Amino acid sequence: MDHCMGGGARGTIPGMEDRTVHGRRPNGIYVPRFRNVATAHPDFLRGYGFQGGADREGWTRGENLPGFGAEFKRTLRTPAPWRFSFYGFGECLPRPTNYVELDPDTKDAWGIPALRIHCEWSDNERKLLKDMSVSAAEMLEAAGAKEVEPFVDDNAPGLTIHEMGTARMGRDPKTSVLNAWNQCHDVKNLFVTDGACMTSSACQNPSITYMALTARAVAHAVEQMKRHEL
Ligand SMILES: Cc1cc2nc3c(=O)[nH]c(=O)nc-3n(C[C@H](O)[C@H](O)[C@H](O)COP(=O)(O)OP(=O)(O)OC[C@H]3O[C@@H](n4cnc5c(N)ncnc54)[C@H](O)[C@@H]3O)c2cc1C
Cα-to-centroid distance, 161 and ligand 1 (Å): 9
pLDDT band of 57, cuts 50, 70, 90: confident
What are residue 150's DSSP bridge partners? Answer: 9
What is the average pLDDT value for the chain, to the nearest integer? Answer: 95
Nearest residue (CA) to ligand 1, atom 2: 161
Task: Please say if the pLDDT value at position 27 is more than 90.
Answer: no
Nearest residue (CA) to ligand 1, atom 12: 207
Task: Please say if the pLDDT value at position 60 is more than 90.
Answer: no
Task: Please say if the pLDDT value at position 24 is more than 80.
Answer: no
Cβ–ligand 1 contact at 210 (below 6 Å): yes
Task: Please say if the pLDDT value at position 156 is more than 80.
Answer: yes
Task: Please say if the pLDDT value at position 152 is more than 90.
Answer: yes
Give, for ligand 1, the residue of 5, 162, 203 to mutate: max count of ligand atoms closer than 8 Å to Cβ.
162
Cβ–ligand 1 contact at 49 (below 6 Å): no
Residue percentage of the chain with pLDDT more than 70: 100
Cβ–ligand 1 contact at 157 (below 6 Å): no
Lowest mean pLDDT among 16-20, 89-93, 122-126, 206-210: 16-20
pLDDT band of 61, cuts 50, 70, 90: confident
pLDDT at 220: 97
pLDDT band of 141, cuts 50, 70, 90: very high
Cα-to-centroid distance, 194 and ligand 1 (Å): 8
Put simply, whether the predicted model's pTM sits higher than 0.85 gets the answer yes
- For residues 151 and 9, the answer to whether their CB atoms sit within 8 Å is yes
pLDDT band of 79, cuts 50, 70, 90: confident
